[in-house]
Amino acid sequence: MCGIVGYIGSQNAQDFVIDGLEKLEYRGYDSAGIAVNTGKSEFNIVKKVGRLKNLENALKENPLEGNIGIGHTRWATHGKPSDINSHPHFNKDKTLVVVHNGIIENYLELKKDLIAKGYEFVSETDTEVVVHLLDSLYEGDLLEAVKKLLKIIKGAYALGMMSISEPDRIIAARKESPLIVGLGKGENFIASDIPAILKYTRDVYLIENNEIVEIKKDSVKIMDVDGNEIKRDITHVGWDLEAASKGGYEYFMEKEIHEQPEVLVKTLNSRVDENYNINFDDAGLTKEYLSGINDIYIVACGTAYHAGLAGKHIIEKKTRIRVDVEIASEFRYRNPVIDEKTLVIVLSQSGETLDTLEAMKEAKKHGARVVAITNVVGSSIAREADHVVYTWAGPEIAVASTKAYTTQMVILNLMAIDFAYKFGKITKDEAVEDIKKLYDVEQSIQKMLEYDEKIKNAADKIKDSESMFYLGRGLDYVIAVEGALKSKEISYIHSEAFASGELKHGTIALITDGVPVVVNVTQSGLFEKSVSNIKEVTSRGAYVIAIAKEGNTVVEEVADEVFYIPDVEDDYAGFPTIVIHQLLAYYLSKLKGNDVDKPRNLAKSVTVE
Which CA distances in Å does 204 have to 84, 211, 353, 388, 466?
A: 33, 15, 21, 20, 46
Indicate the pairing of strand 155-163 with strand 96-104. Answer: antiparallel
| C-beta separation of 216 from 6 below 8 A | no
d(CA 241, CA 163): 32
Phi-psi region of 506 (alpha: psi -120 to 50; beta: other; left: phi over 0): left
- Identity of the residue numbered 233: D
DSSP line for 229-253: EE--PPEEP-S-GGGGS-TT-SSHH
Select which of 2, 217, 301, 549 is catalytic: 2
Phi-psi region of 276 (alpha: psi -120 to 50; beta: other; left: phi over 0): left
Which CA distances in Å does 311 have to 464, 508, 548?
A: 34, 29, 21
**CB within 8 Å of 10: residues ≥ 6 apart:** 67, 186, 187, 217
Q: Where are the alpha helices (H) located in 205-334, listed in sequence order?
A: 252-258, 260-269, 287-290, 302-319, 328-331
DSSP line for 466-528: SEEEEEESTHHHHHHHHHHHHHHHHH--EEEEEEGGGGGGTGGGG--TT-EEEEEE--GGGHH
For residue 78, the Cα-to-chain-centroid distance in whole angstroms is: 21
3-class secondary-structure state, position 539: coil
For residue 186, the Cα-to-chain-centroid distance in whole angstroms is: 33
Select which of 175, 217, 422, 604 is catalytic: 604
DSSP line for 364-393: HHTT-EEEEEESSTT-HHHHHSSEEEE---
Is 604 an active-site residue?
Answer: yes
d(CA 293, CA 551): 42
Which CA distances in Å does 472 have to 338, 569, 571, 601?
A: 31, 17, 14, 29
d(CA 4, CA 70): 7
| 497 backbone dihedrals φ, ψ, rounded to 5° | -110, 140
For the CA atoms of the chain, what is the radius of gyration? 25
Residues identified as active-site: 2, 604
